[in-house]
Amino acid sequence: MTNAAEPRQATAYWTVSPEKGELRAEELPPPKKDEAVVRALYSGISKGTEMVVHRGAVPDRVAERMCAPRQEGDFPGPVKFGYLSVGVVEEGPKDWVGQRVFCLNPHQDRYVVPVDQLTRIPDGVPSRRAVLTGTVETAVNALWEAGPRLGDRIAVVGAGLVGGMVATLLRTFPLARLQLVDLNKERQQFAKQLDVDFATPDHAEADCDIVFHCSASQEGLARSLQLVGDEGEVIEMSWYADRNVTLPLGEDFHARRLSITASQVGVVAKARRHRRTTSDRLDLAVSLLEDPVFDAFLTGSSPFGELPETVQKLADGSLQALCHVIEYPEPETPESSESAR
């Protein structure tokens, strides 16, 4: 544990300009009452959103709305961004010290945070898997938004991190049909790990009650409008950032009286907003991670010191991942310092 009299040092990842990130050292402030010092164990890279930030592609019009909860700086940069951090409380209120926690914090090895922004990780959830809490929360919010019903026919278009999460949660619902739809036939093995039926867009079954669109492509959204049944609803979970999207709204959308509803995790879904808080939603999300099926989403790892290079590899496609895990070094102890000499 850090001596309270000594300045606390930390290192954080910053996007300093489009396509460029770096690790920066900073001094942590002493924790106030009801604040904690958290030492990071793991963080996850939310590939879709974080690649938008890496490219400097956040539209000015929504830049304020799209800020992460504990972001520092402004888009396009320099900005400290990220929201999938797992750590252990080193210092703070007595009932928090030693607790494993999830926090919507950027990639940083140590940070000071109010304890009301921490989510305790249940004993049955491994720390590494807990980095998925924020993505499960996104999927939970979408299900609250859509309200699936007994016997529904549902398609999830886009078998990436978010789409896979939605399908994983839905697989336990009493549905008549659930398909995970993706152009990439190699995702069939991923769907098999999740115990969910897979289909390519051309072979997906239509007349769905609800379609969740998660592919972040205009082709995927257009196909979603074809797959949903008359007067049905497409839940749009993709963020297109600064890209323009063209849709054939003169076809299925207009003739069959369809609806497209945006789902975004920044606020609790309207259907539950008066009875659930964001803390309630996070507590639910982390509890769901006791299911080991979620390990299928953890597709690689890298040390914290290589984070700038790792982000660039994810951006240029040389590194493929659903959720890439960043591993933080163990704190140096007197014993390890001696043995290193």
138-262 folds as Rossmann fold (3.40.50)
Asked if residues 129 and 84 have their Cβ atoms less than 8 Å apart, the reply is no
Evaluate whether 118 touches 102 at the Cβ level (below 8 Å). Answer: yes
Is the overall model pTM greater than 0.75, yes or no?
Answer: yes
Task: Report residue 333's pLDDT band, with 50, 70 and 90 as the boundaries.
Answer: low
Instruction: Provide mean pLDDT across the span 54-83.
Output: 96
Residues 153-180 have a mean pLDDT of 98
User: In the chain, where does the domain assigned CATH 3.40.50.720 lie?
Assistant: 138-262
What pLDDT is stored for residue 6 in this prediction?
66
Domain with CATH 3.90.180.10 in the chain: 8-122+290-339
The predicted pLDDT at position 158 comes to 98
Give CA–CA dist 1/58, Å, rounded: 39
d(CA 59, CA 52): 10
Chain mean pLDDT for the chain: 94
* Segment 7-32 mean pLDDT: 95
Alpha helices in 106-147 (DSSP H): 133-146
Identify the H or E element spanning 314: helix 307-316
| Phi, psi (degrees; rounded to nearest 5) at 237 | -105, -5
Long-range residue pairs from 56-61, CB within 8 A, at least 24 positions apart, any chain: 56/15, 56/17, 56/18, 56/19, 57/18, 57/241, 57/242, 57/243, 58/241, 58/242, 59/241, 59/242
Q: Which CATH class, in words, describes the domain spanning 8-122+290-339?
A: alpha beta
Confidence category of residue 5, pLDDT binned at 50, 70, 90: low
